[in-house]
Amino acid sequence: MNKYVEKFVNESAALTKPDKIVWIDGSKEQIEALRKEACSTGEMIKLNQELLPDCYLHRTAVNDVARVEGRTFICTEKKETAGPTNNWMQKDEAYKMLKEIYDGSMKGRTMYVIPYSMGAIGSKFSKIGIELTDSIYVVLNMCIMTRVSSKVYDALGDSDDFVKGLHAKADIDEEKRYICQFPEDNTIMSVNSGYGGNVLLGKKCFALRIASYQGWQQGWMAEHMLILGLEKPNGETKYIAAAFPSACGKTNLAMLIPPKEYLEKGYKIHTVGDDIAWIRVGADGRLYAINPENGFFGVAPGTNEKSNPNALASTKKGTIFTNVCHNLENNTVWWEGLDKNPPKKAVDWKGNPWTPDTVDADGKPVKAAHPNSRFTAPAVNCPCISSEFENPEGVPLDAIIFGGRRAKTTPLVYESKSWENGVFIGSIMASETTAAAAGAVGVVRRDPMAMLPFCGYNMGDYFAHWLDMKNKSDKLPKIFNVNWFRTDENGHFIWPGFGDNMRVLDWIIKRCEGAVDADETAIGFVPKAEDINIDGLDINIETLKGLLDVDKDMWKSEAEGIEEFYTKFGDKLPETLRAELESLKANLAK
Ligand code: SAT
Ligand code: MN
């Protein structure tokens, strides 16, 4: 056994005092035994094995259903390292405070030791983590979301280069819930939660918060991005990475099915990843991306045969459902937006009996599934998974897309004028908040590169790191911004979205190939309306022009918002970005 792993396990066990320690090897037999055990205690429910083989349902505590940004900390020696957008705790103080909470927290429980690899085991891109947890639910989810295997120890050898993650459910006490990242020590400590993003430590805590810090130190990037391959009728595949905040449709875009007109011509979309991209400069100077994950932790509500058939198909075997509705008619699952046949006899996400007529004390309909209920599905289940999914070299990027959820202001698509301008566009991203994080929903907030909750260091340095990629690569992808969410005066979405987003990807690829012209506006290059293919859509060219419109007055107040946001960063804000803002203001004044 690697002596650093041994020391980590021994020290953590001395602190948390579990009754026993179980070493996870990811084998079928071990997984099956854990499923059985979880079902015997009610932690999981075995679903209809004919309709949903190897699928299970789990409910978290009612107070524990989303990431908790207010209780997520970057713990470093100095506050400046964490920067103005992160909660910070001095790291020694954090360790001290946490040790008290962890002390004896696993008494009467089992500690599981999970060896996992983010990225294919042994790939240059990949990184190793060891998560210790007292939750079988976490073990089983990690076995889907990451590569869990004893082979990880072989890849690690006698090195100390792994991320230490310690998770304890403790009492699921909200007041003592902490999700702490120690990027200077490759350490994560998560306590008093049992919900996905807080406890599957390979995901946001490692693959984004710790990895973004590592990338900054080592010259690569960890981003909150899906990765897709767009295959053209001539067989050539272009790769796109796209950053959107949580629950803004990354999984849907990554698994998009092109509209009929495109399918007939031979266009296809291949999914490489739906949430996280690790990006490095390759030997040829291009940017290459891998998806470090091995599964999809997708939002269930709204996923259906029409919106995302590939995601739905991915959930038909070996999937864990969290906080969805339990359909008692046939022991399967249901959620709002799955179909128009809600079960007549069911249990809601809180564990209460539910029918379509169930109302609360105020007479309002009760939701069967939590809006942030999730499926954890193996990537191999996805019908459109890319042949490059396991490629240890990653895929070369042709375009990077930023996108948010904005009812107004931001046009359907525009292209940056340069890499620097593209970084500026990423840095000013704003989006309406969603149920993926605890707190108000629908409030516009700045979320640079969709990394606000996930950047493990000072965001001013993060912007500088993005700009610095220009010194590392002379073949950088083009940068675009999209917004599928513009609404009309009645609050209805104007753009159909989903599969029809292919039409926008088509324009983006054409721009990368220099095949179409565009109009230069104050904010960047906007398509000529006739270059977006709307054949077969209910939208006419005038509506499309409206979607592409850049309203100078709205953008003037946007520029004021950006200016205010930028002041947070003080002298950490790169001069290049300040100059970009000045140039935007000058363009708007013209
Ligand atoms: O809950 S997760 O953080 O894993 C998903 C998300 O919010 O993007
Ligand atoms: Mn995400």
Answer with the one of 316, 346, 381 that is the final residue of a domain. 381
Residues 85 and 214 in one domain: yes
Quick one: average pLDDT of 217-232?
A: 98
Same domain, 154 and 19: yes
CATH number for the domain including 325? 2.170.8.10
Catalytic residues: 248
DSSP string spanning 106-141? TTTSEEEEEEEEESSTT-TT-EEEEEEES-HHHHHH
Q: Which of 212, 197, 133 is nearest to 165 (CA)?
A: 133
CA of 285 to the centre of ligand 1 (A): 32
- 326 found inside a domain: yes
Q: Is the CB of 246 under 6 A from ligand 1?
A: yes
Q: Please report the pLDDT score of residue 442 as a whole number.
A: 87
**Residue 404 sits in the same domain as residue 309:** no
Tell whether ligand 1 has an atom less than 6 A from the beta carbon of residue 486. Answer: no
pLDDT of residue 468: 98
Tell me the pTM: 0.97
**550 and 494 part of one domain:** yes
Same-domain status, 355 and 504? no
Q: Are 283 and 418 members of one domain?
A: yes
Q: Flag the least confident range among 153-167, 168-182, 426-440.
A: 426-440
| Residue 320 maps to a domain | yes
In angstroms, the CA 115 to CA 26 distance is 9
Same domain assignment for residues 367 and 426: no
Q: How far apart are CA 166 and CA 135, in angstroms?
A: 11
- The verdict on 397 and 330 lying in the same domain is no
* Ligand 1 site, residue 370, Cβ cutoff 6 A: no
**Quick check: 122 pLDDT over 90?**
no
Tokens found for residue 566: 């930028």
Residue 193 domain-assigned?
yes
Q: Is the dihedral of CA 381, 386, 388, 394 positive or negative?
A: negative
Which residues touch 108 (CB under 8 Å, ≥6 apart)?
19
17: CATH: 3.40.449.10
With a pLDDT cut of 70, the percent of the chain lying above it is 100
Number of domains in the chain: 3
488 touches 246 (CB < 8 A): no
Identify whether the C-beta of residue 405 lies closer than 8 Å to the C-beta of residue 432.
yes
Sequence-separated (6 or more) residues with CB below 8 Å from residue 123: 290, 392, 393
Interval 292-303 mean pLDDT: 97
Question: Is the same domain home to 430 and 508?
Answer: yes
Nearest CA to ligand 1 atom 5: 197
Per-chain residues with Cβ under 5 A from ion ligand 2: 246, 275
Does 54 map to a domain? Answer: no
Beta strands in 300-373 (DSSP E): 320-322, 325-327, 332-334, 346-347, 353-354
Does residue 58 fall inside a structural domain? Answer: no
From ligand 1's centre to the CA of 297, what distance in Å? 8
Pick from 199, 203, 405 the residue to mutate for probing ligand 1's pocket: most ligand atoms within 8 Å of its CB: 203
Selected residue with higher pLDDT from 249 and 33 = 33
Pick from 176, 203, 219: which residue ends a domain?
219
What is the H or E stretch that residue 507 is in? helix 502-512
**Are 335 and 476 found together in one domain?**
no
**Does 56 fall in a domain?**
no
CA of 54 to the centre of ligand 2 (A): 25
CA distances in angstroms from 241 to 205, 227, 286, listed in the order given? 20, 4, 13
Are 476 and 556 members of one domain?
yes
Measured from the CB, is residue 197 less than 6 Å from ligand 1? yes
Residue 412 lies in a domain: yes
Q: Is the pLDDT of residue 247 over 90?
A: no
Verify that 331 and 194 share a domain, yes or no. Answer: no
CB atoms within 10 A of CB 222: 27
Q: Is residue 48 part of a domain?
A: no
Give phi and psi for 133, each to the nearest 5: -150, 155
Among 230, 233, 180, 236, CA closest to 209 = 180
pLDDT tens string 14-67: 999 999 999 999 999 999 999 999 999 999 999 999 999 999 999 999 999 999
What's residue 566's pLDDT?
Answer: 98
Strand bridging mode 237-243 / 225-231: antiparallel
Give distance in angstroms: CA of 245 to centre of ligand 2. Answer: 7
Closest-approaching ligand to the CA atom of 299 = 1
User: Alpha-carbon distance 135 to 113, whole Å?
Assistant: 11
How large a percentage of the chain has pLDDT more than 90?
97
Whole-angstrom CA distances from 125 to 147, 155, 209, 475 are 14, 13, 16, 20
Looking at 381, 415, 431, the residue that finishes a domain is 381
Give the domain CATH number at 241. 3.90.228.20
Q: What would the pLDDT profile of 455-485 be if each residue is shown by its tens digit? A: 999 999 999 999 999 999 999 999 999 999 9
- The domain of 197 spans 3-42+69-219
